[in-house]
Structure 1
Amino acid sequence: MPRTTTSRGAVIPALGNAFREHGYEGASMAVLQEASGLGRGSLYNFFPKGKEEMAQAVLDDIDGWFQAHIFTPLRVAAVGDAADARVAVRTMFAEVDMYFRSGSRICLLGAFAISHQRDRFAHTVGCYFTDWIDVLTAALIAAGTADPKSTAFRCIALIQGGIVLARALNDPAAFTAVIGDATAMATLD
């Protein structure tokens, strides 16, 4: 039986889980209804444009989390001293490990980037990765890292590849190892 949800924001995490589990195409309205506990009418009340609006709301929610927990702290660190910047970069990796649940949670933006949905959500996906590379580069400059742009690019690639590897092997330790390697590379450990 559908439950009553009083806000649009309250249903977004459940929709995010449905998109992570089934992909965009596989997340039918029936799947989204079941995941959210809402009937079709309630979902359309919150998201009048349908599934695409639901997916965009999930991506925006993810972006909000990354802005608050990753991008803004790195921006602040970029104007600090080298020690503070290295701490912020280490903290970024810890937050990323937590967010992706040691690689057991897929990166929905990464999944959309390599799927048929890439063009549909190109702006959001592109901005997510560009912003992350840019703010990490700025923090790495402040930290005194040699070749900060390349290091930032490689760190993000390691994170994304680590998620895929950990899920493919069903081994969170693979993601933890990748995070450790990326942390050492970025923080001059």
Structure 2
Amino acid sequence: MKTVYQRADIVPLLAEIFRELGYEGATLSRITERTGIGKGSLYHFFPGGKEEMAGAVLADIDAWFDAAVYRPLRNDDARQAIAAMWANVNDYFRSGRRICLVGAFALDDTRERFSRAIGDYFIRWIDALRSALMRAGCVEEEAQTLAEECVCGIQGALVLSRALADETVFIRSVETLAKRLGAATR
């Protein structure tokens, strides 16, 4: 029996391949090998090739973060949205076992190809968190600094957890950041 795929079924598979191999390492041959989907089918869904595949993955990540992190931080009760952000980030990054693909793309030559999507990801996260922090009582300058520190801390914790093969680094870092924001919003 042949499996019939939809484009939406393929995007998460591509995301994990890009996370594991990077943009340059994810050749079309390796993508077909790891997904089991033929080149013709991949080009049917992604006529623009690997660049379109990576763009679809970044759009999918953006949609998830918009729904689970940015919108709640901008619109919901500030303290509840911040608490939900920590839980969602922990789940999304699998307690530090899953790299941030957007962050990884920002660090190599791929950045130029997807600079707008990469920059928007970080800008929107910082802005949304700053907004929640201000609604929770922080002055704008402090809220901006804390938001930047938190996003930096999450990204750094992901790198360090991966480098040390120790997810507890990520867990401890996120807990420390959450306590810092909690103390700032009392």
Q: Same fold (TM over 0.5)?
A: yes
2:175 paired with 1:175: no
DSSP 3-state at the match of 1:119: helix
Correspondent of 2:107 among 114, 123, 131:
114
Asked if the contact 1:158–1:178 (Cα under 8 Å) also holds between the matched residues in 2, the reply is yes
State which of 99, 102, 125 in structure 1 corresponds to 2:95.
102
Q: Report the alpha carbon displacement of residue 57 of structure 1 after superposing the two structures with TM.
A: 0.3
For residue 165 of structure 1, what is the aligned residue in structure 2? 160
Cα distance between partner residues in 1 of 2:36 and 2:100: 23
Unaligned stretches of 5+ in structure 2? none
Q: Give the CA deviation at 1:3.
A: 5.3
Change in CA separation of 1:3 and 1:124 when aligned onto 2, cut-off 3 Å? farther
- Structure 1 residues 3 and 171, CA gap change in structure 2 (3 angstroms): farther
- Residue deviations 1:114-143, cap 9 Å, x none? 111111000000000000000000000011
> Which secondary structure state, in structure 1, belongs to the residue aligned with residue 111 of structure 2?
coil
Which one has the bigger helix percentage?
2
Give 2:81's aligned residue. 88
3-state SS of 2:112 partner: coil
What code does the residue aligned with 2:39 have?
Answer: R
Name the structure 1 match of 2:125: 132
Runs of 4 or more above 6 Å deviation: none
Q: State the one-letter code of the partner of 1:22.
A: L
Aligned to 1:35: 34
- Residue 168 of structure 1 aligns with an amino acid whose one-letter code is A
Report how far residue 34 of structure 1 moved: 1.9
**Which residue does the alignment assign to 1:65?**
64
CA distance in 1, matches of 2:87, 2:96: 12
The percentage of aligned residue pairs carrying the same residue is 47
Give yes or no for the alignment of 1:184 onto 2:179.
yes
Aligned equivalents of 2:34 and 2:56: distance in 1?
15
Give the letter aligned to residue 121 of structure 1. F
Q: Which residue of 1 aligns with 2:136?
A: 143
Tell me the distance in 1 between the aligned counterparts of 2:33 and 2:12: 13
What TM-score, normalized by structure 2, do the two folds share? 0.94
Q: Offset of 1:75 from its aligned partner? A: 1.1
Structure 1's unaligned 5+ residue stretches are: 78-83
RMSD: 1.4
Q: Deviations over 1:117-172 (max 9, x none)?
A: 11100000000000000000000001113500000000000000000011111111
Q: 1:149 to 1:3 in 2, by over 3 A?
A: farther
AA aligned to 1:139 is A
Match of 1:92, SS? Answer: helix
Per the normalisation by structure 1, the TM-score is 0.93
